[in-house]
Amino acid sequence: MVKVSVIVPVLGADEHLDECLQSIRRQTLRDIEIICMYCSRDHSRYYKMFKQYMHEDERIFGIEIAEADCGRALNIGVENAVGEHIGFMFPDDYAAPDFYKNCYLAAEEKEADFVRSDYYRVLDEKSGDVRHIYSRISEDPADYNRVFDPQEEKHALYFLPDIYCGIYRRAFLRDFDIRFNEKAGESLRSEGFFFQTTVFGKRAMLLDKAGYFRRVSDENSAVDDPQKVYAFDIEYDFIRDVLMDHPGVWGKVNRIYWKKRFIDTLASLDKVSPEYKKEYCRNMSRELNAAQKDGLIRYEDYGEKYWPQMLMILKDPDTFAASAMGLVEIPKLQEDYVVDMAKLKRDSKRLQDVLNSNSYKLGFALTQFPRKVKERLKNRLK
């Protein structure tokens, strides 16, 4: 029986493919299959390569797809996988020999829907040196090495959304029809898959031992490809569409969704090329204003750490974009922020005073009595 199916989307990125596949072949967990997804446009490039790999290791096989769509490739891989659990490895990455064994043993022992672990980011420096940066899925040590219910511990939605550093029970993915977004083309993002597994999972586990090595490009380089600029928004639109098909789930996490989308947008804004920043901020402002009208943007969710920036993007996205490029100061918006904060605090104090008043408590208690009991009480008071 295949214990873990490892899906590798090979869509033009093959500089480190041999290192990737060899690291999977050397896993101490031997009952695995390796599914390599490649595009038909690259048939001549990969067919002989995979034929040779398949000759050397019968656990490897390739599936050819019509278009170079990473989300589509991974979905087809999941549909064809037969393992009890499924893992994903990108062709630039590699894993320590016991990585999948450690994940599998934890998942089986704890009957987990998914298990994820810390990992290393691998940076190839221009000098030829290689840096390994330890990345923690959660900053809280208490989140590790125990089973938790993500539906109850909603802070799990703020964990790093890196989905390749773990395995997912195939039956769990099938039961909840968890899929990758197929509208992002080759610019795959992991947030959609991460969100779905987190909100639908009941038994999850984090391991504090890193065994996955994720090779990353220059983290400071600007994104100037229009498709890649909006890949983030496309992914979060996908998440919203999926969750809104489950009203009970959406009702529990919609405010978290908007907060996470906002925070992640701020983080990604620095990487957007200057010529796209204004349009990007305008689009973000439209989305956030619509959410605010629906009551999903509230001060208490953001606090003083993020609320100033939220007000700025809501009120004046062009100035916000200019400030993000360091072209202008924003005293007027800061002034508005101070006014709004003061009003918010005054309103909050007034509300608390009302809630603590005896008249409110008595009135609230009366509304909880059945109508006949209230009528009797009124008769006695006459």
- The helix (H) or strand (E) run that includes residue 60 is strand 60-65
Asked, for residue 111, whether it belongs to a domain, the answer is yes
Structural domain contains residue 81: yes
Task: Report pTM.
Answer: 0.82
E strands, the chain, are: 4-10, 32-39, 60-65, 85-88, 94-95, 114-124, 130-135, 147-148, 166-169, 204-216
Note whether residue 289 is domain-resident: no
Residue 330: inside a domain: no
- 278 lies in some domain: no
Q: CB-based contacts of 24: which residues, under 8 Å, 6+ apart? A: 6, 8, 32, 34, 89, 95, 100
CATH number at residue 179: 3.90.550.10
Of 151, 184, 219, at which residue does a domain stop?
A: 219
Short-list 158, 141, 142, 140, CA closest to 150? 158
Owning domain of residue 77: 4-219
Structure tokens at 254: 């919609």
Residues 47 and 177 in one domain: yes
Which pLDDT tens digit goes with each residue over 249-260?
999 999 999 999
Mean pLDDT over residues 107-136, rounded?
A: 92
Q: Is residue 266 part of a domain?
A: no
- Tell me, what's the pLDDT at 223? 47
Q: How many domains does the chain have?
A: 2
Q: What is the pLDDT of residues 325-364, one digit of tens each?
A: 765 555 555 555 555 555 555 555 555 565 566 665 565 5
pLDDT recorded at residue 189: 79
Percent of the chain with pLDDT over 70: 78
The strand pairing partners of 215, in sequence order, are 122
Q: Residue 377: which pLDDT band, with cuts at 50, 70 and 90?
A: very low
- Residue 113's φ and ψ, nearest 5 degrees, are -70, -35
Last residue of a domain, one of 178, 199, 219: 219
Would you say residue 286 lies in a domain?
Answer: no
Query: Are 55 and 188 part of one and the same domain?
Result: yes
| Residue that terminates a domain, selected from 219, 242, 260 | 219
In a domain, residue 43? The reply is yes
User: Do residues 209 and 72 both lie within one domain?
Assistant: yes
